[in-house]
């Protein structure tokens, strides 16, 4: 995977990936043209690095942790816990996560098993928004989209599963992203692009109506919180490598169930599609 595709799959900006390369934490191979090329297995390492960064490990601490055996890692975790415990302004959530790891409960799983399949996505329409957004802004856009499209009688039943396509990742943890909702091609006899209710809404909002042509994808389902999604991306890339498939430079995440449907993040269901070239 080249650096752009790897950035999208790992949710790590290209600048940070170059920094990790410079520090020797995550070193890709260099192809004959001088470009960085990441292996699918590098996604597991990227996930570990992101998890350790979330737990307030510094770069040199991460390097030491990754190079340590299991016993040394337990010692490092105990030391980190004591360090965090002394900080009266520490984020309570981070402290709880470190304690859980130190005690051996809810230990992060760096590897997950995924079933990958080929699929042809039929022609479909979507109402969508493109722009730079944080995750919280994406949630608000999804909510507004759903309410507006519902009022135009363009979704019902299995329609309306929100999706996102990430185009780039920025250092401030925001994304260049398309977020949207699939819709019926028409409301009764009125085509979606001529829906008067939707036209009125679109005058005040940056929505676009887009027709997706039929396309072949490989896809897999992720169960659980979004923090572990990189395992699904790794499975897709490994499947593509094993079957000599070329992937386009973007992926689609479809949120089958999310915070609207369930309370616990462990119950989230996300369908991830990689488009075939």
Task: Give domain status of residue 117, yes or no.
Answer: no
**In this structure, what token pair is assigned to residue 131?**
């722009």
Instruction: Clarify whether residues 16 and 71 are in a common domain.
Output: yes
Q: How many domains does the chain have?
A: 3
Return the pLDDT at 93. Answer: 58
Q: Answer yes or no: are the C-beta atoms of 9 and 233 closer than 8 Å.
A: yes
Instruction: Clarify whether residues 16 and 74 are in a common domain.
Output: yes
- From residue 206, alpha-carbon distances to 130, 133, 136, 187 in Å are 8, 13, 18, 21
Strand-strand pairing, 124-133 and 175-183: antiparallel
Instruction: Clarify whether residues 208 and 220 are in a common domain.
Output: no
Its pTM stands at 0.67
Which of the listed residues 212, 227, 255 is the one where a domain comes to its end? Answer: 212
**In this structure, what token pair is assigned to residue 232?**
């699904």
Instruction: Clarify whether residues 201 and 227 are in a common domain.
Output: no
Which of the listed residues 70, 103, 136 is the one where a domain comes to its end? Answer: 103
**In this structure, what token pair is assigned to residue 135?**
């995750």
Return the pLDDT at 87. Answer: 64
Beta-bridged to residue 223, according to DSSP, are 269
Render pLDDT for 92-122 as a digit per residue (tens, 0 to 9).
556 666 766 776 655 445 445 789 999 999 8
Which of the listed residues 195, 212, 229 is the one where a domain comes to its end? Answer: 212
Task: Give domain status of residue 112, yes or no.
Answer: no
Task: Give domain status of residue 51, yes or no.
Answer: yes
Return the pLDDT at 44. Answer: 92
Instruction: Clarify whether residues 143 and 208 are in a common domain.
Output: yes
Cβ-defined contacts of 28-33 (< 8 Å, 24+)? 28/3
**Residues counted in the chain:** 277
Q: Which domain holds residue 135?
A: 123-212
Return the pLDDT at 127. Answer: 85
Task: Give domain status of residue 113, yes or no.
Answer: no
- CATH number, domain of 46, equals 1.10.1660.10
Task: Give domain status of residue 88, yes or no.
Answer: yes
Return the pLDDT at 191. Answer: 59
Task: Give domain status of residue 109, yes or no.
Answer: no
Instruction: Clarify whether residues 219 and 235 are in a common domain.
Output: yes
Instruction: Clarify whether residues 27 and 92 are in a common domain.
Output: yes
Q: Is 276 helix (H, G, I), strand (E, B) or coil?
A: strand
Instruction: Clarify whether residues 46 and 72 are in a common domain.
Output: yes
Instruction: Clarify whether residues 16 and 83 are in a common domain.
Output: yes
**In this structure, what token pair is assigned to residue 94?**
């981070």
DSSP per position, 111-168? ------EEEEEPPEEEEEEEEEE-HHHHHHHHHHHHHHHHHTT---TT----EEEEEE
Instruction: Clarify whether residues 83 and 28 are in a common domain.
Output: yes
Instruction: Clarify whether residues 232 and 249 are in a common domain.
Output: yes
Task: Give domain status of residue 24, yes or no.
Answer: yes
- Of 6, 276, 277, residue with least CA distance to 116: 276
In this structure, how many other beta carbons lie within 10 angstroms of the beta carbon of residue 77? 19
Q: Answer yes or no: are the C-beta atoms of 62 and 52 closer than 8 Å.
A: yes
> Which residues in the chain belong to E strands, given as ranges?
29-30, 36-37, 117-121, 124-133, 163-169, 175-183, 186-187, 190-191, 208-212, 215-223, 247-257, 269-276
Kindly state the DSSP code that residue 2 receives in the 8-state scheme.
Answer: B
Task: Give domain status of residue 137, yes or no.
Answer: yes
In the chain, what is the straight-line distance between the N-terminal and C-terminal CA atoms, in Å?
14
Instruction: Clarify whether residues 203 and 220 are in a common domain.
Output: no
- Print pLDDT tens along the chain (277 aa): 999 999 999 999 999 999 999 999 999 999 888 888 999 999 999 999 999 998 889 999 999 999 999 899 999 999 888 887 776 454 555 666 676 677 665 544 544 578 999 999 988 888 899 999 998 888 888 888 888 777 766 665 445 688 999 999 988 888 999 999 887 665 444 455 666 566 666 666 788 888 889 999 999 999 888 878 888 999 999 999 999 999 998 899 999 887 667 777 778 899 999 999 8
- CATH number, domain of 175, equals 3.30.70
d(CA 229, CA 190): 38
């Amino acid at each position: 995977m080249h650096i752009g595709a790897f950035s999208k799959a790992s949710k790590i900006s290209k600048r940070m990936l170059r920094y990790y390369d410079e520090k020797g934490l995550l070193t890709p191979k260099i192809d004959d043209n001088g470009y960085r090329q990441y292996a699918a297995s590098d996604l597991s390492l990227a996930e570990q690095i992101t998890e350790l960064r979330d737990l307030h490990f510094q770069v040199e601490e991460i390097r030491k942790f990754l190079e340590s055996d299991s016993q040394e890692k337990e010692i490092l975790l105990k030391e980190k816990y004591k360090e965090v415990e002394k900080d009266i302004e520490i984020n309570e959530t981070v402290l709880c996560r470190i304690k859980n790891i130190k005690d051996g409960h809810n230990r992060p799983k760096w590897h997950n098993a995924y079933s990958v399949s080929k699929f042809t996505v039929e022609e479909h329409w979507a109402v969508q928004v493109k722009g730079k957004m944080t995750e919280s802004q994406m949630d608000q856009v999804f909510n507004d989209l759903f309410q507006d499209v519902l009022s135009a009688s363009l979704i019902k039943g299995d329609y309306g599963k929100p999706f996102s396509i990430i185009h780039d990742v920025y250092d401030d943890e925001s994304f260049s992203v398309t977020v949207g909702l699939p819709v019926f091609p028409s409301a009764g006899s009125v085509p979606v692009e001529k829906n008067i209710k939707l036209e009125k809404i679109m005058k005040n909002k940056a929505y676009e109506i887009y027709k997706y042509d039929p396309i072949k994808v490989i896809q897999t389902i992720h169960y659980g919180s979004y923090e572990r999604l990189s395992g699904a991306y790794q499975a897709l890339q490994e499947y593509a490598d094993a079957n000599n498939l070329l992937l386009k430079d973007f992926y689609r995440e479809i949120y089958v169930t999310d915070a609207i449907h369930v309370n616990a993040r462990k119950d989230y269901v996300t369908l991830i599609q990689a488009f075939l070239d």
